[in-house]
Every structure is written in structure tokens, then in C-alpha cells.
Structure 1
Amino acid sequence: METANLVEFLAVDFYKLIEAALTDFGQPNFVQIFHQGFDHLEKKSVNTFQKSIGKSLLLIKTNHPDTKIISFFSRHPSDVVRRWPCYFIGLNDKLNIDEKLSKLERFAIDHHFGVREDAWLAVRNCVIDNLEASIFSLSPWIKSDNAYKRRFAVELLRPRGVWCKHINQLKEHPELVMPLIEELKEEKNRYVQDSVANWLNDLSKSQPELVINFLKSWDSTNNHSAYIIKRSIRSIKKGKS
């Protein structure tokens, strides 16, 4: 089954789910590889479990290159299982950033919100290590007709973000991404609007004046822009209250 919300996702027993998924796949003998990875985790959380599964999948594909496990998990009815190939891709050092983004696209536009979130979380560290190349590669995503792809690009480049490592370079040099944010100033999709506003709200926590000046050129009479502006400065307003 798919999880309906974050509470259900946090309640997942990864030991049992990996056993069930591998039984579905017809390779229950792989289970010990994953369990060993889990047992060696210093901190057990959904994030560490998923990264551990990604590492185990890399190990399996190295030793069994013909296995179709990644393809099988990518099509699994459980959203949690579909998240795991994202970490296999994100942790694969043999792939450059363009290749990783290309392989993550199907997960970035998945119908389930959780899979879409893990798609960008899985490659976040790689983007931090290859920031300028990543920004260049994500530029076409910002212009995509698919709202999920636009949101993926914005979330992946958020200076602070949630449940992820901050991008300190963007805190200090947001001008690297601000032209992309400008492209979305009249964004019509609420899902993407919230992401754009969160990006600017992140930045406002370290450079509030820059955010205020940046938004001055936006058309506040446009309903879409007005919504983004209001949410972008919520932390600034809270600090003044």
C-alpha cells in the first residue's frame, strides 16, 4: 500500500518492508545484505534507512549486474519502495549530475508526494558538491511545462530546505539561482508557488534586505505574484512583530 501521509511513512518498519519487497521480487536471499546495512547504522531514522538501502542496492548491482531489482522497485505499488532507487541513483558515483537528474526524472514526477520529495533529497549532496553545473542542468527544468519538474528544481536548490543539508554557498551567493526564481514570479501552480516562496523565505533568514529589494520589481497586482510575495516575507514580518 501507499502511505497517505508523513505519519504513516515514519511508522514504516524497514526490516519487514524490505523482506516483503524482496519476496515480491523473487530474491529473498538478498535480505541479509540490507539487514546488515541496517544493523550497522549508528542512528536509525527514515533518512539513514533509505540511504542504507541505496548503498545496498549499489552493492547488489555491482555483484549482480544483470539483476532487474532497480527496475522492479521503480514500479512497485508501495511509494516507500519506489523511493529506494532514488538513493541508488543519488549515491552512484559513476553517474555525473546530468545523468543523475535524467534518471531521477520519473521519480520527480511520480504521482505520490513522498516519492517526489525523496527524488530531490537523494541527490541534494551531489548538487552541493557540483553546484554551478547543477544550476546549469536544472535551468531547463524551471522552464518545463510539468509543474512537478519545476518544483523539483526549486526544492533541490533551496538554500536551507527541510531535512537536508544547507547550501551555504547559496546563502552567501543567492544570485547564482535568483535568475531562475525570477522566471517563476508569475507561477500559476500553487504547489510550485509555495516552493518558490519557501526558497525566498529561506534566503530572508540570512539576507532579508536582498529579498525585499528583489521582490520590489514583481507585480503585486498579479494574484499569483502577490501570493508568492506574501509567503516569501513571512519570516521577515514575524521578526518585526
Structure 2
Amino acid sequence: MIHEHVQSRKGARKTSDIPREVLDLLNRGLIESVNLIEWQAVNHFTLLKHVLPSFNLEKGKSDVLLTEMANHNAFTGMKAIRTTSDLLTTVMFDESESKKLEILAYCSNHMSDSVRCWAAFMNKHRQQTLAEKLSFIRHFAADHHFGVREIAWMAIREDLSEDIDKSVELLTAWAKDDNENIRRFAVESIRPRGVWTKHIEILKQEPHKALSLLDLLKADSSKYVQDSVGNWLNDASKTQVNWVLAICEKWQKESVGKATEKIIKKATRTIMKNNC
């Protein structure tokens, strides 16, 4: 039974302040992280040891998996998530299709946000069309947990960047979705610069390629989406200042309202800073 004080916690401000009880529950996959500090503190090696028995793999495979995980010396943060996902994908390679789907479904719906993060990357090496990959990642893009949503776009960003025109075409439907998490994903996944990821060079030089998608969200009611659109344009402003200014001027005329004002303010913050 998880105590109420654990369930209702706000989250520590630094790793050393995370209560031992909370860290133990996180590492056993029994609770979700509630902030970035907790999310980054999860020991994925320990978590994997607790989750592995549920996969019902041969003992030899489980032992190899844990040994490889230890050898990679990746226990926390993004590196640990990617490493765990890659190793799980490798171990499952010669399993039956039904067994793969069983493990993937188990991880995709696990109580632990960290385990769901593994699952988002576990489809990465499958031979699928871009539309199929987006269909798979939608489950994670709509997740209620901030960490899983961030991993969702990171897991498919490289695929999206390989064909921006096709990506914008497919993501346009996402930008019209009722779910704000899905709308936000449509923008965040193809930010020209992004966070913790490689830049998308073509969008740094030709941001107009994504304008049809951005236009749909210029007055979005969700702050979550507004921030993403503003950040997208702010990214673009670092290489295409005049284009961003022209878009903001156009939006000011077409869409009078606080939502658009907030987007424009965030979009032009680097420009304003450089002009001070």
C-alpha cells in the first residue's frame, strides 16, 4: 500500500532531498515520478531488475540483459532510457511476434512512467512507414505524464526529420486533435532546434515548410500548445529573423487575442533580447 504522503508529494528540489522511501518505490516501478528531479534520479538498472521477471524470459536472456546494462554504465537519465530500450529490443529480437507484443504492451501500460519511456523507444528499429511509426507513438504522446510525452517526440524525431514535407502533412491532423497533448506533440516533435536533440537543419534554414501546421495553432487555447508554438518560432528566429517577424506581424493582424499575443511574445524573446 502506498501511503498518502507519498501519493500527494510535490517532489524534491534536488536529488539528495528525495526521501529514501520515494526513491525505493520509483526504482521498484511502483509509483510515478512527479517532477524532473525524481524522473532523472530513477535507477533504470534497479528498475529493470524488478520489471524483468514479468517478461518471463529465459534466465540466460535476463542475465545477459542485466550484464549488458551494467557494462554500459548507464543507470539514470536519458542515456539509461535509450540503453535499456535498445537492449530490450535486442533481447526480444528472436522471440515470437506474440511475445514481443506482450512485452511491449506490458511496458506501454506500466505503472512506472520510466518503463513507459522504455516502451516509446522499443519500436524504433521496426521496419514501418512514417505513418505507422506515428500511430505507434500516439499512445505515448497522449500520456498523462510529462516525461513520457517528452520521450515520445524524441523517439520519433529522427524519423520525422528525414522527410519534413511528409511529416508536416501527417502531423497536420494531429494539430487539429481535441487532445492538447497531441496538438503540442505536432509542434514540439519538429522544432528546428529542440531540447536534448539534434537540430533539424532544413527547418532552421527553411522554417516556412512547417507554416501550414503552425498556422493551425496560432490562437490555440492551451498554454501547453502556445508555449510550444512560441518556442518553435523562437528557434527559427535564431537563423531566420525576418521570416519570424513577418509571421508574427501577419498573425497579429489575423488573430487578435491573448493566445496569439502570448505566442508572439515567446516567439520574439530572442529577437527582443538581441535588440536591447
| TM-score computed with the length of structure 2 as normaliser | 0.81
Partner of 1:113: 146
Distance in 1, Cα, partners of 2:238 & 2:216? 22
Within a 5 Å distance, the mapping from 1:151-166 to structure 2 comes to 151-166=184-199
Partner of 2:50: 20
Identity of aligned residues (%): 36
Distance in 1, Cα, partners of 2:82 & 2:164? 21
Distance in 2, Cα, partners of 1:33 & 1:237? 54
Distance in 1, Cα, partners of 2:64 & 2:37? 27
Q: Identify which of 244, 259, 267 aligns with 1:224.
A: 259
1:206 CA drift (Å)? 1.1
Distance in 2, Cα, partners of 1:15 & 1:45? 8
Letter in 1 for 2:207: P
Q: Identify which of 170, 173, 176 aligns with 2:209.
A: 176
1:205 CA drift (Å)? 1.1
Distance in 2, Cα, partners of 1:155 & 1:168? 15
Letter in 2 for 1:107: F
Structure 2 residue 99 is matched with structure 1 residue 69: no
Return 67-76 or 127-136, whichever deviates more. Answer: 127-136
Return 19-28 or 56-65, whichever deviates more. Answer: 19-28
Distance in 1, Cα, partners of 2:165 & 2:63? 39
Within a 5 Å distance, the mapping from 1:67-106 to structure 2 comes to 67=99, 68-89=102-123, 91-106=124-139
1:93 CA drift (Å)? 3.7
Q: Give unpaired runs (5+ residues) of structure 2.
A: 1-30
Distance in 2, Cα, partners of 1:37 & 1:199? 38
Contact 1:197 1:232 in 2 (8 A): yes
Contact 2:108 2:115 in 1 (8 A): yes
Distance in 1, Cα, partners of 2:210 & 2:249? 18
Distance in 2, Cα, partners of 1:42 & 1:76? 24
| TM-score computed with the length of structure 1 as normaliser | 0.92
Residues 75-119 of structure 1, C-alpha deviation per residue, up to 9 Å, x if partnerless?
A: 110000011111012x22412211111011111101111111101
Q: Give unpaired runs (5+ residues) of structure 1.
A: none
Contact 2:164 2:209 in 1 (8 A): no
1:39 CA drift (Å)? 4.1
Q: How big is the alpha-carbon RMSD for the aligned residues of Structure 1 and Structure 2?
A: 1.9
Question: Which secondary structure state, in structure 1, belongs to the residue aligned with residue 122 of structure 2?
Answer: helix
Question: Which secondary structure state, in structure 1, belongs to the residue aligned with residue 250 of structure 2?
Answer: coil
Distance 1:36 1:176, change over 3 A: farther
1:61 CA drift (Å)? 2.8
Distance in 1, Cα, partners of 2:73 & 2:275? 41
Structure 2 residue 33 is matched with structure 1 residue 3: yes
Distance in 2, Cα, partners of 1:121 & 1:172? 21
Q: Identify which of 135, 159, 162 aligns with 1:129.
A: 162
